[in-house]
Structure formats: C-alpha cells, structure tokens
Amino acid sequence: MPRPIRIKLVVGSPGRGKDTMKAIEIKKGVYWVGAIDRKIREFHGYKTHLGTTYNAYLVVDDRTALIDTVKEHLFDEMLERIKDVIDPKQIDLIISNHSEMDHSGSILKMLPHTPKASLLTSPNGESILEKHFGKIPALKKIDPASGTKLGKRTLNFALMPMVHWPDSMATYIPEEKLLLPNDAFGQHIASHERFDDELGWNIVREEAAKYYANIVMPYGTQVSKALDTLEGLDIDMIAPSHGVILRSHIKDMKAEYRKWSGNITEKKAVIVYETMWGSTEKMANEIRGAFEEKGIPVDMMDLVTDDISDVMTRILEAEYICVGSPTLNNNMMPKVSAFLTYLKGLALKNRKAMAFGSYGWGGQSVGQVEGILKECGFDMMESVKAQYVPDKEQLEGIRKKFEGHISGS
Ligand code: FEO
C-alpha cells in the first residue's frame, strides 16, 4: 500500500475552482444541498486543517425529502441551495439520520419553511432530538423494518447505532443504488469538489483515515456490523454527511473501513514524545534507530508541533506506539498527559506499546505513562529511563535493549 501523504495546513481549499451557491445534482433528481465550512479549524478536539462540509441531500419525486440539515450558522446557505431546486414548501419529509448538531442544527430553522413536512428519525433519534430541541410536533420515528415510498423511489433505513451516536442510521435508496450513511465514510474536507475522483483518492483516503481515527475508532465492533449490513445492498454511490461523495472508490473505502474497524495493523511504529532539554528526544531518536534497523518505518511525532488528532491518524495502522515524557514537577509533561487521555478514550486494540523518558531526580513520568498505556490494554514492552543527559553508552544500551523487543518485518 502506498505510504499515506501528510497534509499540513492547506487552508481550506484542496482543489481549484469556485464554490457556488447552486445545488449539485448527484443522481437524476437527487441533489447535494449542503454547506461548506471553510473556516472551522477545530471539531470537538479534532483539528480540521482543511475545514469541512455538512452534507444535506434533496430527493425530488412525487414526494420530496430533505435528508439531514447543516450546522445552524450555515442554514441560509443550505436554504439557498434548496431554493435553487424547489420551493421548500414542497418538502414532504425531513429525514434526520443523526441528531448531532452538525446535522440537526438547522432543523428548527427549516421547519417554518416546510409547513407540510414530517420529520422522521430513528427511535433513539426521537428521544435525542427532543432532548436537544424540546417537543417538535412534526417529529415521528421511523419503523426500521419498513421504508417510505416517495414515488419512483423508496427511502429505506438501516439503524447503525454508535456510528457515531446511539441514534445514527443510514438512508438507502435502492432505485438509485445510493447510500446516505451520515458520518460513516466521512472526511473533514471543505472543497468545491463533490466527488472522490474530482479530489483524488490520496487526499480522500488520508482525511477519511483521520476522521476514522479521531471520531469512529471507539466503535469498531459496531462499524464491522454496519459493514456486514451494507454487503447485502447494491450500491454505486455513497453520499456521507462530511466531505466528498464516493462513486469511484467505494470498494477501496469499504476495504479501509474493514481494516480499521478490525484493528488490523501494519509493521509501523509511532514515537510520540515531548522533550524539555533534548534528552527524551535523544532517546526517541535511539528507539527510532532500533525500529529502522529492523526495517520498520517510523513516524516521529513531537507533541509541541504535532496535534494529537494528526498523531492518531498515524497511529491508526501502527503496530507499535512508544510514548516519551521527561518528568516535570513529579509528573509527565502536560501535552503528553492530554495525548494519553485522548488515546485512552479512542479505545485502540491490538497494539504493542512502551514508555520512555528522561528525568533529573524524581523520575515519575515513565511509570505514569506506562500505567496509562497498560490501562489502554496494550501489550507492553519494557520501559526505559535515563537520568539527566544520556551519554553515548547509555543510548546504545537503550537501542540494543529495545531491538530485542521488536520483531522485524
Ligand atoms: Fe457529523 Fe456525529 O456528527
């Protein structure tokens, strides 16, 4: 597999061309009417260097359905795109596949424009939407076993709990071979391009990996079940709720999701560290040398310059995770502590890990890092410590000791 590209601070415009406020027809009578958020740089703790989109879709038939909405502050953008196709009064159904506010945030603003519309959601979605917004008279829950006929087309629903919230579901239109799975297969990319082949697989894959590693990762078991459900469906387009629509790389993306949800790793290592006076970094470089000696590629991630959401993207497929911190005030460094809290919450499985770090007198940090890596359930390798500044002999000792723990490629 080609080594993934690293994308750094491309300011919200991965491609060429211009955004328009027009709807985009993705299938005959099916339109993208979402919103492009080029300014967002943080999404609940995840650095969105490329911005994102909130994708809503309009299906025009004998009855017309709007599938999902957008973040509240971008409501006008969505409404303008809907008006590019129809008068919103003609909308009969609003489908809420997921009640997180990036998709449900415009529902209350939309309802006055759609006087005859029912708002349909999953049984869990009904409860969550009411807890967000209070009683909504138009709200009805779907029967997951039966679809809704629009005319020539049918909306079928598949519950996908925990991909990404308990309410998450996918809408499937069999006559169009079109799946609308909300967060699943999404990517945080703001671009005027709407399709995977317009933007290119490398960037789509990289951003889908980052999205999976930082948002979907804890729910691998549920993702595997959802993928099993999808196997039975005839699909030639997947239109997620963030980023571009998949039409050329459906098979590739499903294969990546199978791998990620199965915690299948490659012979790769990520060394994550923060250093104070350079000693922990010297140790990191020595450990790097041990991996490279065995032919194992390494990503070095310095938490002063690398964001934890980018670190997680690198860790997604790595067999080895090494975390280094010097001791500061009887503790690990604060950025390392924040990273480990984040890592633990994302519930990776099937990894080998070790702690390392330098110290002056107390030396508590390495034990603390090791403790959290153990709580993560990782298969632990022996930790290494060095006092003040490790000399050449100590560094060679670290490398030799560490080489013994690594099985080569
Ligand atoms: Fe894109 Fe879970 O919301």
CA of 86 from ligand 1 middle (Å) equals 27
The pLDDT value given to residue 14: 53
Report whether residue 81 contacts ligand 1, using a CB cutoff of 6 Å.
no
Query: For this structure, is 113 an active site residue?
Result: no
Report whether residue 102 contacts ligand 1, using a CB cutoff of 6 Å.
yes
Report whether residue 100 contacts ligand 1, using a CB cutoff of 6 Å.
yes
CA of 369 from ligand 1 middle (Å) equals 31
Query: For this structure, is 211 an active site residue?
Result: yes
Report whether residue 241 contacts ligand 1, using a CB cutoff of 6 Å.
yes
Minimal-distance CA residue to ligand 1 atom 3: 100
CA of 62 from ligand 1 middle (Å) equals 30
Query: For this structure, is 98 an active site residue?
Result: yes
The pLDDT value given to residue 9: 39
Query: For this structure, is 242 an active site residue?
Result: yes
Catalytic member of 37, 167, 176, 183: 183
Catalytic member of 61, 68, 102, 310: 102
CA of 7 from ligand 1 middle (Å) equals 22
Query: For this structure, is 293 an active site residue?
Result: no
Instruction: Give the number of the atom of ligand 1 that is nearest the alpha carbon of residue 182.
Output: 1
Catalytic member of 103, 188, 192, 242: 242
CATH class, range 19-261: alpha beta
pLDDT in tens, 75-120: 999 999 999 999 999 999 999 999 999 999 999 999 999 999 999 9
Task: Give domain limits for the chain.
Answer: 19-261, 266-405
CATH class, range 266-405: alpha beta
Across the chain, which has 409 residues, the per-10-residue mean pLDDT values are: 44 58 96 97 92 98 98 98 98 98 98 98 97 96 92 96 94 98 97 96 98 96 94 96 98 97 97 98 97 96 97 98 98 98 96 97 97 98 96 93 75
CA of 97 from ligand 1 middle (Å) equals 10
Report whether residue 306 contacts ligand 1, using a CB cutoff of 6 Å.
no
358, burial (CB in 10 Å: exposed 0-12, middle 13-18, buried 19+): buried
How far is CA 239 from its chain centroid? 15
- In three-state form (DSSP H/G/I as H, E/B as E, the rest C), the secondary structure along the chain is CCCCCCCCCCCCCCCCCCCCCCCEEEECCEEECCEEECCCCEECCEECCCCEEECCEEECCCCEEEECCCCHHHHHHHHHHHHCCCCHHHEEEEEECCCCHHHHCCHHHHHHHCCCCEEEECHHHHHHHHHHHCCCCCEEECCCCCCEECCCCEEEEEECCCCCCCCCEEEEEHHHCEEEEECCCCCCCCCCCCEHHHHCHHHHHHHHHHHHHHHHHHHHHHHHHHHHHHHCCCCCEEEECCCCEECCCHHHHHHHHHHHHCCCCEEEEEEEECCCCCHHHHHHHHHHHHHHHCCCCEEEEECCCCCHHHHHHHHCCEEEEEEECCCECCECCHHHHHHHHHHHHCCCCCCEEEEEEEECCCCCHHHHHHHHHHHCCCEECCCEEEECCCCHHHHHHHHHHHHCCCCCC
Query: For this structure, is 188 an active site residue?
Result: no
